[in-house]
Chains A and B, each alone.
Chain A
Amino acid sequence: MRPTMDVSELLQAGASKQKSIQVEKEIPLDIDIGYLAATDPNPIDEEEYKNNREEYLQSVARDNAQLLINHLFSLPIESSQDGPLAKLPPPTTTLPRAKPLPKPKPPTKWEKFAAAKGIQKKRTEKKIWDEEKQEFRDRWGRGGKNKELEEQWLVEVPANAPADFDPVKEARDAKKKRVAKNAAQQTKNIQRAERSNASASLPQEREKRKTELERDLAQTRISTASMGKFDKKFQGEPKLRGVKRKFDPNEKSADSEKASALAILSKLDTSRPSKRARAEGGDDVLNVRKAIRHESRTGGLSGERTGGRPGKDGKGRGGKRK
Chain B
Amino acid sequence: MRPLTEEETKAVFSKLANYVGKNLVHLIDRADAPHCFRLHRDRVFYVSESLMRLAVSVARPNLVSLGTCLGKFSKTGKFRLHITALDVLGQYAKHKVWIKPNGEMPFLYGNHVAKAHLGRITEDTPEHQGVVVYSMNDTALGFGVTARSTLDTRKLDPMAIVVFHQADVGEYLRDEDTLF
- Listed in ascending order, the chain A residues whose CB lies under 8 Å from chain B are 247-252, 254-255, 257-258, 261-262, 264-265, 267-268, 270-271, 273-274, 276-277, 280, 282, 284, 287, 289-290, 312, 314-315
Contacts and interface: CB of A to CB of B under 8 A. Distances in A.
A13 to B, nearest CB: 41
A135 to B, nearest CB: 52
Nearest to B3: A248
B56 A284 contact: no
Given A254-B34, A254-B36, A312 B13 contact: no
A258 B13 contact: no
Contacts of B155: 312
B3 A247 contact: yes
Contacts of B36: 254, 257
Interface in B41-55: 49, 52-53
A253 to B, nearest CB: 9
A248 B154 CA distance: 50
A261 B28 contact: yes
Contact of B124 (A262, A271, A290): A290
Interface of B: 1-3, 5-6, 9-10, 13-14, 17, 21-22, 24-25, 28-29, 34, 36-38, 49, 52-53, 56, 123-124, 126-129, 149, 151, 154-155
A265 B10 CA distance: 8
B66 to A, nearest CB: 12
Contacts of A274: 126, 128-129
A270 B2 contact: no
24 contacts: A248-B2, A250-B3, A251-B52, A251-B53, A254-B34, A261-B9, A261-B13, A261-B28, A262-B25, A262-B29, A264-B6, A268-B10, A268-B17, A270-B14, A270-B17, A270-B21, A270-B22, A270-B24, A271-B21, A290-B123, A312-B151, A312-B154, A314-B151, A315-B151
